[in-house]
C-alpha cells in the first residue's frame, strides 16, 4: 500500500497515547517515510519512552525532515508536535517544497491514558498529563495556522478543514479513509 499523500508533510498533533503512531503507520506504511521520535529515542537510549534524549531526537528529526522535504518526498513527522514553536520550525522547512497537512487527534486524556497502558513500553502518566496541559494554549479549535489542510479526528469522527487548490502546489491529496 502506498501513502495516500504524495509530496506532502503530514504532521500529527496529539498527546501521547492518542493513536498518532498507529494512524501514521496506516497512512505511511513505508517506514522510510515516517520520522518517529520514539524510534530515535530507542536508538539513542534503548527505550522508546526515555524522554532524556528528546533534544537529540528532535535535532535528528529536523535534519531528516529537511532532507526529505528538499527532495519533495512525502513524510510523516510522528511526534506530539503540540507546541506552536515546534510546528513553526517544521513549517519553515517544508514551505514551498511540499504541502503541509496537520492531523489533529483530539482525543480525551482518559482515553490516551488507557491506550498508553496497553503499549509495550508505556510513557509515564505525568508525560501524558504534561502534554495535555499544553493542549489548550497550543492547539486551536479550528484550522491549524500555517497548514494547507487540517484533518481533525475525535472519538466522534473526522473533519477536514482547509482547501487543497493551492496554485502551483507540487503535491496531491488522495483519499485517506481506506
**Cell output for 169:** 502546489
- Rounded to an integer, what distance in angstroms lies between the CA atom of residue 18 and that of residue 25? 14
- Rounded to an integer, what distance in angstroms lies between the CA atom of residue 78 and that of residue 75? 9
pLDDT at 4: 63
Instruction: Break the chain into its structural domains and give their ranges.
Output: 5-163
pLDDT at 100: 93
pLDDT, tens digit (0-9, with 9 covering 90-100), for 88-123: 999 999 998 999 999 999 999 999 999 999 988 888
pLDDT of 177 strictly over 90: no
pLDDT, tens digit (0-9, with 9 covering 90-100), for 147-163: 988 889 998 887 766 54
pLDDT at 162: 57
Taken in order 107, 113, 119, 121, is the CA torsion positive or negative? positive
What CATH code would you report for 5-163?
3.40.50.300
pLDDT at 166: 35
Query: Count of residues for the chain?
Result: 178
Taken in order 132, 138, 144, 146, is the CA torsion positive or negative? negative
Element (H, E) at 10: strand 8-13
pLDDT of 7 strictly over 70: yes
Question: Per mean pLDDT, which range of 22-26, 33-37, 168-172 is the poorest?
Answer: 168-172
Count of Cβ atoms closer than 10 Å to residue 136 Cβ: 9
**Cell output for 28:** 505511511
**Cell output for 150:** 487540517
Count of Cβ atoms closer than 10 Å to residue 145 Cβ: 12
pLDDT, tens digit (0-9, with 9 covering 90-100), for 13-34: 999 999 999 999 999 999 999 9
Bridge partners of residue 12, in order along the sequence: 103
SS3 33: helix
Q: Give percent of the chain with pLDDT exceeding 90.
A: 63
Average pLDDT over residues 27-53: 89
Using the structure block, give the residue that is written with the C-alpha cell 514551505: 95
- 154, 127, 157: which is closest to 141 by C-alpha? 154
Whole-model pTM? 0.85
The pLDDT-based confidence of 165 (bands split at 50, 70, 90) is: very low
Amino acid at each position: 500500500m502506498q501513502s495516500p499523500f504524495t509530496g506532502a508533510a503530514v504532521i500529527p498533533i496529539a498527546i501521547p497515547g492518542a493513536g498518532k503512531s498507529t494512524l501514521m503507520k496506516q497512512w505511511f506504511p513505508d517506514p522510510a517515510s515516517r520520522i518517529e521520535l520514539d524510534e530515535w529515542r530507542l536508538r539513542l537510549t534503548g527505550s522508546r519512552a526515555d524522554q532524556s534524549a528528546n533534544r537529540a531526537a528532535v535535532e535528528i528529526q529536523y535534519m531528516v525532515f529537511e532532507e526529505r522535504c528538499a527532495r519533495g518526498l512525502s513524510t510523516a513527522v510522528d511526534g506530539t508536535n503540540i507546541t506552536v514553536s515546534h510546528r513553526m520550525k517544521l513549517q519553515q522547512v517544508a514551505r514551498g517544497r511540499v504541502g503541509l497537512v496537520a492531523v489533529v487527534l483530539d482525543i480525551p486524556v482518559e482515553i490516551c491514558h488507557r491506550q498508553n497502558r496497553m503499549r509495550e513500553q508505556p510513557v509515564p502518566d505525568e508525560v501524558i498529563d504534561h502534554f495535555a496541559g499544553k493542549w489548550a494554549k497550543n492547539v486551536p479549535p479550528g484550522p491549524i495556522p500555517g497548514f494547507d489542510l487540517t484533518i481533525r479526528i475525535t472519538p466522534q469522527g473526522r473533519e477536514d478543514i482547509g482547501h487543497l487548490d493551492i496554485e502551483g502546489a507540487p503535491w496531491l491529496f488522495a483519499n485517506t479513509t481506506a
